[in-house]
Amino acid sequence: MARKERLTTPDRRYFVTRGRLWRCTDPTLDDTERRTAVKALMQARRAVQMADTPEAERAARADVDAAKHRLGERGPVWWDDGAPDEGGRHPKNTSYADWWARLDAETRDRAEGKA
């Protein structure tokens, strides 16, 4: 199955899913580090699904969070121009509002999960 094309902001810092901005992986990570962190993330996500106690689920979720930090998707931002993290917000309520408004309705609907 082909991977769906994600809508990303012009500066490639975020992608849009279900009407929210989500931070992209740090593009300066070398391929080995990125692959290692992605593998750890996938293992941790599986562990969350397989957890049979609240403690096991908490530990697995902590591993997910650690992998997301390694990827630059959480924690301190990976860019260095002083721009704030606007993740988790609707694009129309961020500095990307003009870009969002210029997109055609079909593209916005897909990014909001309406299409």
- Digit-coded pLDDT (tens) for 12-39: 999 999 999 999 999 999 999 999 999 9
Residue 2 has pLDDT above 60, yes or no: no
| 20-23 β-sheet, strand order | 7-8, 14-17, 20-23
Whether residue 77 is contained in a domain is answered as no
104 inside domain? yes
Provide the pLDDT for residue 1. Answer: 41
Query: How far apart are the C-alpha atoms of 6 and 13, rounded to whole Å?
Result: 12
Task: Kindly state whether residue 95 falls inside one of the protein's structural domains.
Answer: yes
Q: Give the per-residue pLDDT at 3.
A: 52
In a domain, 110, yes or no: yes
HSE-up of residue 96 (Cα within 13 Å, Cβ side):
26
In a domain, 12, yes or no: yes
Strands (E) across the chain are located at 7-8, 14-17, 20-23
Asked whether 99 and 26 are in contact (CB, 8 A), the reply is: no
Number of domains in the chain: 1
pLDDT in tens, 56-114: 999 999 999 999 999 999 999 999 999 999 999 999 999 999 999 999 999 999 999 98
